[in-house]
Amino acid sequence: MALADFENNDLKLIIFGGKGGVGKTSCAIATALALAENFKTLLISTDPAHSVSDCLDQQIGFKVVKVNNTARLWAIEVVADEALSEFKTEHKSELKKLLETSTNLDNTDIDEMLALSIPGIDEVMSFKTIIDFIEEGEYEKYVVDTAPTGHALRLISSPKLLDEWIKVAARMRWKYRYMITSFAGSYRQDEVDTFLLSLKKTVKRIENLLKDSTKCEFIPVCIPETMAISETSRLLSDLGKSEIVPRQIIVNNVMVSEDCSFCRSRKAGQEKYLLQISEIFSTLNKVEVPVFAEEIHGLKSLDQLKDCLFKTE
């Protein structure tokens, strides 16, 4: 079978996830190359390991660049720290005012507080970067390569985390509003309220996008090995909690050749795992990709992988 239904114009966001080393980056790039044949496509890597640059053999980094020798493919590797400092610079006055008006912190304390690292912030910033791109709407398709499973799940649940922070901030502001209203008789919405409201709207938009299977698709990548199967099962059940239901799965590194005794023994060893995959993931369209003789590196082998993923016979 081949990866299907990507031509649908409504489908904007395609996210690849799975265990480390199963082929997420290779499959994400190959899919982006296929989409770029018909659509203006942006490949976004949220993996701090930045393997997109290595796989494409082209330095990408935290700035959109055109992928060499492609007609319509651009790529960016998100650096969460940089995304966070851009966010803090852009919203410095709102963040400072939020803390000034709802805590007893002085200026030095506020600066220290703003410099603190916050758990989960990397994924929130990565996701916000993706959403900002989608909202700017310069591309027709957005393909996301993630770091191993835990990261992808944190990425998916980042809107919830952001929503919790907004609620805490809003609660802190209520006291301030109450005070102002008691002293001044009325309260006028300020830039902090506008900022929190706009963040809240962003969270809603992310949640709606993730749950909408016509606009967003999550593709798990698995290999016929026991640990990868267990991790993929957990991934699917955790995705289900966020109401994300994948339609298809890539089963990578399948041994096809029977030309040598090593190949035959590898192939025989994979049989039971392929059977398990068929049973456990019976509802998903399965796309099998053979193990290549060499690693996937550079456009030529990525093109071969693209053909495996999208061949329709």
| Residues in touch with ligand ADP (CB under 6 A) | 18, 20-26, 51, 252-253, 289, 291-292, 295-297
Residue 253 interface partner, choices ligand ADP, Mg ion, none, CB cut-off 5-8 Å depending on type: ligand ADP
Q: How far is the CB of 306 from ligand ADP (least distance, A)?
A: 12
295 interacts with, out of ligand ADP, Mg ion, none, CB within 5 to 8 A per kind: ligand ADP
CB-based burial, 33-53: b 16+ in 10 Å, e otherwise: bbbbeebebbbbbbbeebbbb
- The DSSP call for residue 247 is S
Q: How far is the CB of 159 from ligand ADP (least distance, A)?
A: 24
Report the partner that residue 96 touches, choosing among Mg ion, ligand ADP, none (CB closer than 5 to 8 A by kind).
none
Q: Is 270 helix (H, G, I), strand (E, B) or coil?
A: helix
Task: Give min distance, CB of 250 to Mg ion, in A.
Answer: 13
- Chain-centre distance of CA 36, in angstroms? 19
- Shortest Cβ 255–ligand ADP spacing (Å): 10
Of residues 37 through 56, those in contact with Mg ion by CB under 5 A are: 51
CB 144 to Mg ion: min, Å = 11
Which is closer to ligand ADP, CB of 96 or CB of 306? 306
Supply the DSSP string of 85-147, one letter for each residue. HHHHHHTHHHHHHHHHHHS---HHHHHHHHHS--TTHHHHHHHHHHHHHHHHT--SEEEEE-S
The answer to whether residue 146 forms part of the interface with Mg ion (CB under 5 A) is: no
Which residues have C-beta within 8 Å of that of residue 170, sequence separation ≥ 6? 196
Please say which residue, 171 or 297, places its beta carbon nearer to Mg ion: 297
Give the side-chain half-sphere CA count within 13 A for 203. 18
